[in-house]
Amino acid sequence: MAQTVVVGLSGGVDSSTAAVLLLEQGYDVIGVTMRHLPAETTNSCCSLEAIVDARRVAKKLGIPHYLVDVEQPFFERVILPFQEAYLTGTTPNPCALCNRYIKFGAMWEWASSQGADFLATGHYVRRVQRDGLFYIMRGVDRSKDQSYLLYTMKQDDLAHLLFPLGEYYKEDSRAIAERYGLVTAHKPESQELCFVPKNDYQGYLEMHRPEAISPGEVVDTGGHIVGHHRGVAFYTVGQRRGLGISSNEPRYVVALDAEKNQVVVGAQDEVFQKSVLVEQVNYVVPIYTEKITGCAKIRYNMEPEPAEWVGHGSDADIVFLNPQWAISPGQIAALYQQDTLMAGGRIRKQT
């Protein structure tokens, strides 16, 4: 008897191709679309167009399709923390929270309630079982690798997760979808946060959290007032333009101090740091040593850099071989050994 897998259909080409590959592998496939925003939203996987496309794909493939409402947990687990992060001067990563609580949380709860054996998505990562453990490895397509956003996965999660696209390139995904005549084959990718129109997070905060507009001082690293800002929520570490200050030398945001309501600026070399303290650490695979040598990354679109990971509790220090640009509290730091994701956590502060 074939095993049953629920695949998250977002209305895009990657999830569509994932469903195709699972069918080719002999699984009984069920498609599900998680509605986490109102259907009138136009720039997301919850838009009416996306839902219709997901249904058309399911119909073309001859698989059942369900629409499951997760609007409330998405608001509580993803949108609110996103807003709060900016208000406290930190940088959020809503996609990682969505993966943890919605895609691999609420969606698996629904899938398991339907008697499914596995849950699958269109992420470009590889899941490998070896020596009784499950490993997350970077996708073959480095330009699409999404392992960084899966640092919260535990062994119990990986036991029922499948990532069919891990061995494929993006162009392969489109070619497979085209071969099957799927409406999503040449659908353009969205580069926006699903709940922030046009990626205008400042306008979004002004509308939904007007208290973000809280003028304060811009100070240099010596504590001297050099200007004024409109609210720490509207600035990011490493920012140079739009600071509203005059200086003989270029000045960059070095830190955001929400408690003092200050934006701290400094010279370019002051934005580079070699070490960072990470909290809320999750170990994808068990680690029993105090120090690990590998590579780490502190933002999605960077290649892992040589680093040491010190500590195996809920907190850890990462020391990079070379200084890194604009380490931002609130963002994710992930540890790799070769292609394998070992651990990750939330950056608390530069050290």
Q: How many CB atoms lie within 10 A of CB 288?
A: 6
> Tell me, what amino acid is at 328?
S
Determine which helix (DSSP H) or strand (DSSP E) holds 178, and give its type and residue range: helix 170-179
Q: Is 183 helix (H, G, I), strand (E, B) or coil?
A: coil
Q: How many CB atoms lie within 10 A of CB 198?
A: 10
| Cα–Cα distance for residue pair 303/280, rounded to 1 Å | 22
Q: Is 98 a catalytic residue?
A: yes
Of the listed 45, 46, 95, 194, which one is catalytic? 194
Q: How many CB atoms lie within 10 A of CB 11?
A: 25
Q: How many CB atoms lie within 10 A of CB 29?
A: 26
End-to-end CA distance of the chain: 55
| Cα–Cα distance for residue pair 231/229, rounded to 1 Å | 6
Q: Is 11 annotated as a binding residue?
A: yes
Sign of CA dihedral 257, 87, 333, 269: negative
Bridge partner list, 133: 130
Q: Is 13 annotated as a binding residue?
A: yes
Q: Is 45 a catalytic residue?
A: no
The residues that are catalytic are 98, 194
Residues flagged as binding site for ATP: 8-15, 34, 122
Residues flagged as binding site: 8-15, 34, 122
